[in-house]
Amino acid sequence: MNLRIISALVMRYLFLYSRTPMRLVELVFWPLVDLVVWGNVTVFIQKNSDAKFGEFILFFLGAMILWDILFRAQQGVAISFLEDVWTRNLLNVFVAPVRTAEYLGATFVVGFLRILVTCCVMSLVSWIGYSFNIFQLQWWLLPFFLNLMVFGWALGMISTALILRWGQAAESLAWAVPFFIQPVVCVFYRVEDMPAWSRPIAWLFPATPIFEGMREVMKSGTMNWNYLWLSVGLNVIYLTLAGALFVWVLNLTRKRGLLTKFATQ
Amino acid sequence: MSATPDTREVVLEARELTREFDGVKALDRFSFKLHRGEVLGLLGANGAGKTTAMNCLLGLTLPTSGELNAFGLPLQANRISILQRSNFSSAYTALPGNLLVWQNLSVFARIYGVPNPKKKIAELMELLEISHLGKRVTGQLSAGESTRVNLVKAFLNDPELLMLDEPTASLDPDIADKVRKVVRKVQRERSIAILYTSHNMRDIEEVCDRVIFLHKGKIVCEGTPTEIMSRSSSNNLEDVFIKIARDGEILDEPKKEEAP
């Protein structure tokens, strides 16, 4: 793994963002729309419920911000790959001395940078507009952040592998994949609120214990460590499997001779 | 075909390379050697197997069977170290269109670990007469400008092996001539081995030391442009190209080079 090559690829994305401010708007605009909608719903519920529940309902905003960490990390990987496809640059990258791990590493860094931008803006707006301070999660925020980011990277690799496998016709998966799992990772409700048959499925995803943990921290100020270890363990499995899937699909694409077709179409 | 064996270092070698797609052989036991300081033209009609060959040589497509070595090393197992010493330019790929030219070139200079990249980029841009394009948006360049920017990228790491896929496609005769001259100049100065594909026979006659004609994935003719024209009783390579493309005419059995 060569850090110079990763930094070169990251530099390319930074140039891209500095050249096209509209991309920065995209990073901030949709999350803000979501935040305002959920923020206003929260205010409405607060006004029409008892004080204790009204205080707790603020977790909607925390869930929104944490969900965006996962989503932006996934987008960092999948959209960075699509940028290369759209600009017909993929071939230049694949015939340069860039290892698959370096290419993915650069997309992970881009994912991290995207999260930083989005989260800073959302945290600030939710604090000013709705008196929700994300830092009430205290030090728990750090493992929440890291686990959701790693799961986002894994989903990004899965999305990219699917796009590589099925070509540009499948590029909407770059946006869709996180939403396939959103209903079962309990972003806005507890696992026990789900139908009994679907609860075991929810615990198969590393994001579920994080969202459960977030609600617990907001309610009681502490969290069951088992949630954290479960999330870490599942993330190791997901990251390994997603990386293996990406490499396998990339090799398959090479074997079938589809990489060039895909990169120049 | 030269009778005396070439003693120069073999930079790229394919042995019995075969690539099948759904049972159809796009490349059929394709073998060749490319020596240091040599420009080898790979010719053939559309579908003859040039692009498949080029993709196999770049590691973008895996061959069904056969061996590929560069700098004496198996390509697949040593892909990264080989690519570090090689480069590629194609009329069918582009550098990201929304970046400035200098930004694109800086990124690739960093990928290849070019020492003093600013100086190197400036030298190459001057050589290709595009010094004024540094602050232009890549996607807004003309075809000729874009080709020359791609060539700057291709020369950035002082490659020992260069693969040029139709570098003069869609260029006007004046720019095409300039590009050919620069490629030849840099190639001679640095003794680069170049694999060159083109449908422009003028390119091939001017740039290539040796030529391989492919037809339905097989080598049907190999030699210097002059030898091939004389064997075919043609005045130019274009006539040879047409004969081969239409009839699959085999001008002679390609002479097998002795194994080292």
**Residue A91 touches chain B, beta carbons under 8 Å:** yes
Residues of chain A found within 8 Å of residue B62, distances taken between Cβ atoms: 251, 254-255, 257
pLDDT tens for A149-190 read: 999 999 999 999 998 888 777 888 888 889 999 999 999 888
Kindly report the CATH number assigned to the domain that includes residue B21.
3.40.50.300
The answer to whether residue B210 is domain-embedded is yes
Burial class (CB in 10 A: 0-12, 13-18, 19+), B143: middle
What is the distance between the alpha carbons of residues B184 and B137, in angstroms, rounded to a whole number? 28
What is the distance between the alpha carbons of residues B40 and B6, in angstroms, rounded to a whole number? 14
Token pair in block for residue A221: 């100020």
Instruction: Say what the ipTM of the complex is.
Output: 0.83
- pLDDT at position A24, please? 76
Question: Is B62 in contact with A88 (Cβ distance < 8 A)?
Answer: no
Query: What is the distance in angstroms between the Cα of B231 and the nearest Cα belonging to chain A?
Result: 35
- pLDDT at position B1, please? 47
Residues of chain B found within 8 Å of residue A96, distances taken between Cβ atoms: 83, 108, 111-112
The answer to whether residue B23 is domain-embedded is yes
The residue of chain B with its CA nearest to that of A262 is B60
Residues of chain A found within 8 Å of residue B58, distances taken between Cβ atoms: 95
pLDDT of chain B along its 260 residues, tens only?
445 666 788 999 999 999 988 888 888 899 999 999 999 999 888 888 888 888 888 888 889 999 999 999 999 889 999 999 999 988 877 788 889 999 999 999 999 999 999 999 999 999 888 999 999 999 899 888 888 999 999 999 999 999 998 888 878 888 888 888 888 988 998 899 999 988 888 888 888 999 998 888 888 888 888 888 888 777 777 787 787 777 766 655 444 444 44
- pLDDT at position B259, please? 45
**Residue A52 touches chain B, beta carbons under 8 Å:** no
- From A7, A99, A254, residue closest to B61, measured CB to CB: A254
Q: List, for chain A, all residue ranges whose pLDDT scores fall below the cut of 70.
A: 52, 55-56, 137, 262-265
Q: Which of B54, B93, B99 to mutate to test the interface with A (most CBs of A within 10 A)?
A: B93
- pLDDT at position B105, please? 96
Angle of helix A173-181 versus helix A59-86 axis, rounded to 10: 150
**Residue B111 touches chain A, beta carbons under 8 Å:** yes
Range of the domain at B220: 1-79+200-260
**Residue A222 touches chain B, beta carbons under 8 Å:** no
- From A9, A89, A95, residue closest to B94, measured CB to CB: A89
A238, A73 contact by CB (below 8 A) = no
The answer to whether residue B37 is domain-embedded is yes
Question: Is B62 in contact with A255 (Cβ distance < 8 A)?
Answer: yes
Look at chain B and report how many structural domains it folds into.
Answer: 1
Query: What is the distance in angstroms between the Cα of A97 and the nearest Cα belonging to chain B?
Result: 5
Q: Which residues contact B139 (CB under 8 A, 6 or more apart)?
A: B94, B96, B97, B98
The answer to whether residue B181 is domain-embedded is no
Q: Rounded to a whole number, what is the largest CA-CA distance in chain A?
A: 63
The answer to whether residue B180 is domain-embedded is no
Q: Which stretches of chain A are assigned E, i.e. beta strand?
A: none
The residues facing B40 across adjacent strands are B195, B210
The residue of chain B with its CA nearest to that of A250 is B60
Q: What is the 3-state secondary structure (H, E, C) of A21-64?
A: HHHHHHHHHHHHHHHHHHHHHHHHHHHCCCHHHHHHCCHHHHHH
**Residue B62 touches chain A, beta carbons under 8 Å:** yes
Query: What is the distance in angstroms between the Cα of A21 and the nearest Cα belonging to chain B?
Result: 12
Q: Which residues contact B258 (CB under 8 A, 6 or more apart)?
A: B5
**Residue A17 touches chain B, beta carbons under 8 Å:** no
